[in-house]
């Protein structure tokens, strides 16, 4: 289903003319739209408008920034452990340095350096990649704690750091996995560890490099209390911080949606201002052409064929003037915010009949499948125009039959318009489902139609038909009450 053109193409019999209006020959820019309406030379004019995808303005990636912050915290913690190792080696003058801790530090340092190299440049980091980095943090820190006293090492509380980061950044499922890994690692370090002279109270009684394994010593309530405290803290952080992070993310999403809606509203206002100004400028030449046609029709030397052509031209000029009048009326209604109320079937039927009179070569079929009386909807003049635009899109595919179905339920009215054309691309279908402001790949007609649907509290989708060739444009509008 193709989008209708913003400017009409001239017929082939005028192919040699170059006296197009200057408004078609010069690209137009507007600071609010950041778009351009352009035209080609010669006999065929095309027009398009690019709406800015504001989400792609900057290469800044929050996920990448979070990963670099995690690596920075890991580096600070490693520096602290390296300082402890240097202090122990300097003060104890041991003949058997803690090589296990040194190797664990070296491994974590190399891992951090590799992660920094991997995160160079500008790229997006997925939730799974961030989760893997946090799990590597926990595994590496467990190896480091195992070689330096286990749960006796005061740095064991660092497990809270990756847990808090996961709760603030990652989804609920990943956070619970991180919490489980941290609690499991802490629990194992209570039993399995290599005593460290600076932290282990019984390190002198245990030969350096030997593993301490077995049940907890009687009366070691402090270590057991620290374990329960960590378990309790991990549970609170995982449950409540994740909930608070979710609330913040939803608030940010709503604010981003409002910001994109404002940007899109400004873009549409700019298009409306351009259209209103153009309509005002077209009024004078249309009046002049009407007067000239009347004078030509009074010429007695004209043949019947010429008179028929002049009558056709006069009818087309009258239609142009009617369209400009509707545009002016729509602008007035938009300024006052006034809306009409009517049954959804009446609105669709009126728009379909008006459109069919302008496209006599296409057959139309209207089916009402809703049960009971048709519900009332509140609308302004832009809604019938949006419907006509969808009818035009369907007809422009070459389909000779346009099927329109009107249905409703307890909450909304559904208008489905189907053609028998080649269907739509996946890119166009995704474009209509994109977040507000992300209009890449959409024509100006579909952008305005989608904006009209959303301004009326509804939505617009475009999909390929499931039971044969063609595409289906589905317009959903909220209902008020029954007639």
pLDDT in tens, 125-134: 888 888 998 9
**111/481: higher pLDDT:** 111
Segment 202-227 mean pLDDT:
56
Are the C-beta atoms of 390 and 475 separated by less than 8 Å?
yes
Are the C-beta atoms of 340 and 380 separated by less than 8 Å?
yes
Residue 65 pLDDT > 50: yes
pLDDT of residue 331: 58
**Residue 274: left (phi > 0), alpha (psi -120 to 50), or beta?**
alpha
pLDDT of residue 80: 81
Residue 227 pLDDT > 60: yes
Residue 439 pLDDT > 60: no
Least confident of 109-118, 346-355, 394-403, 439-448: 439-448
**482/241: higher pLDDT:** 241
Q: What percent of the chain has pLDDT over 90?
A: 14
Segment 339-357 mean pLDDT:
91
Residue with tokens 């200057």: 22
pLDDT of residue 56: 39
Reported confidence tier of residue 209, pLDDT bands at 50, 70, 90: very low
pLDDT of residue 304: 84
**419/63: higher pLDDT:** 419
Residue 437 pLDDT > 60: no
Beta bridge partners of 482: 375
Residue 475 pLDDT > 90: yes
137/111 Cα distance (integer angstroms):
9
The model's pTM is 0.48
Segment 11-27 mean pLDDT:
35
Q: How far is CA 114 from CA 111, 119, 142, 295, in A?
A: 5, 9, 19, 84
Segment 201-226 mean pLDDT:
55
pLDDT of residue 22: 34
Are the C-beta atoms of 53 and 440 separated by less than 8 Å?
yes
pLDDT of residue 129: 86
Q: Kindly provide the residue ranges of all beta strands, DSSP E only, lying in 420-470, ordered along the sequence.
A: 459-464
pLDDT of residue 199: 65
pLDDT of residue 12: 37
**345/27: higher pLDDT:** 345
pLDDT of residue 51: 40
Are the C-beta atoms of 462 and 471 separated by less than 8 Å?
yes
92/197 Cα distance (integer angstroms):
8
Segment 260-274 mean pLDDT:
71
91/61 Cα distance (integer angstroms):
45
Q: Is the dihedral of CA 417, 421, 427, 428 positive or negative?
A: negative
Mean pLDDT of the chain: 75
Domain ranges of the chain: 1-50, 62-214, 339-483
Main-chain dihedrals φ then ψ at residue 463, nearest 5 degrees: -140, 160
230/226 Cα distance (integer angstroms):
6
**250/413: higher pLDDT:** 413
Which among 208, 201, 62 is positioned nearest to 122, based on CA atoms? 62
SS3 450: helix
Are the C-beta atoms of 386 and 435 separated by less than 8 Å?
no
Reported confidence tier of residue 335, pLDDT bands at 50, 70, 90: low
7/11 Cα distance (integer angstroms):
13
What's the CATH number for 339-483? 3.30.565.10
Which among 83, 141, 134 is positioned nearest to 108, based on CA atoms? 141
Segment 438-465 mean pLDDT:
76
pLDDT of residue 429: 64
Are the C-beta atoms of 81 and 155 separated by less than 8 Å?
yes
Least confident of 162-171, 211-220, 385-394: 211-220
**165/101: higher pLDDT:** 165
Residue 441 pLDDT > 50: no
Reported confidence tier of residue 333, pLDDT bands at 50, 70, 90: low
């Amino acid at each position: 289903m193709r989008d209708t053109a913003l400017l009409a193409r001239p017929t082939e019999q005028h192919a040699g003319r170059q006296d197009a209006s200057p408004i078609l020959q010069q690209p137009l820019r507007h600071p609010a739209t950041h778009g351009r309406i352009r035209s080609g030379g010669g006999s065929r004019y095309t027009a398009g408008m690019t709406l800015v995808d504001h989400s792609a303005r900057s290469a800044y990636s929050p996920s990448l920034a979070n990963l670099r912050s995690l690596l920075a915290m890991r580096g600070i913690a490693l520096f602290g452990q390296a300082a402890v190792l240097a202090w122990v080696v300097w003060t104890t003058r041991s003949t058997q340095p803690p090589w296990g801790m040194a190797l664990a530090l070296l491994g974590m340092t190399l891992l951090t350096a590799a992660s920094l190299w991997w995160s160079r440049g500008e790229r997006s980091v997925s939730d799974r990649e961030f989760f893997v980095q946090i799990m590597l943090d926990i595994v590496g820190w467990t190896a480091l704690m195992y070689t330096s006293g286990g749960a006796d090492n005061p740095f064991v509380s660092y497990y809270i750091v990756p847990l808090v980061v996961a709760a603030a950044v990652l989804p609920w499922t990943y956070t619970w996995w991180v919490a489980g890994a941290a609690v499991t690692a802490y629990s194992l370090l209570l039993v399995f560890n290599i005593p460290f002279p600076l932290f282990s109270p019984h390190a002198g009684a245990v030969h350096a490099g030997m593993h301490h394994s077995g049940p907890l010593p009687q009366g070691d309530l402090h270590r057991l209390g620290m374990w329960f405290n960590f378990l309790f803290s991990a549970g609170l952080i995982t449950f409540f911080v994740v909930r608070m992070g979710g609330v913040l993310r939803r608030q940010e999403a709503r604010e981003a949606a409002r910001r994109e809606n404002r940007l899109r509203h400004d873009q549409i206002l700019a298009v409306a201002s351009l259209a209103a100004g153009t309509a005002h400028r077209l009024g004078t030449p249309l009046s002049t052409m009407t007067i000239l046609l009347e004078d030509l029709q009074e010429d007695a030397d004209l043949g019947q064929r010429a008179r028929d052509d002049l009558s056709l031209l006069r009818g087309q000029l009258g239609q142009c003037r009617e369209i400009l009048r509707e545009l002016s009326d729509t602008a007035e209604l938009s300024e006052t915010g006034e809306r009409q109320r009517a049954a959804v079937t009446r609105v669709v039927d009126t728009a379909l009949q008006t459109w069919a009179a302008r496209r006599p070569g296409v057959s139309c079929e209207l089916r009402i499948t809703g049960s009971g009386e048709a519900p009332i909807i509140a609308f302004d003049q832009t809604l019938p125009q949006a419907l006509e635009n969808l009818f035009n899109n369907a007809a422009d595919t070459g389909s000779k039959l346009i099927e329109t179905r009107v249905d409703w339920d307890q909450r909304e009215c559904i208008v489905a318009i189907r053609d028998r054309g080649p269907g739509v691309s996946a890119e166009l279908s995704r474009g209509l489902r994109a977040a507000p402001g992300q209009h890449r790949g959409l024509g100006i007609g579909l952008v305005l139609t989608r904006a009209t649907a959303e301004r009326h509290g509804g939505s617009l989708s475009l999909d390929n038909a499931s039971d044969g060739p063609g595409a289906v444009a589905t317009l959903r509008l909220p209902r008020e009450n029954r007639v």
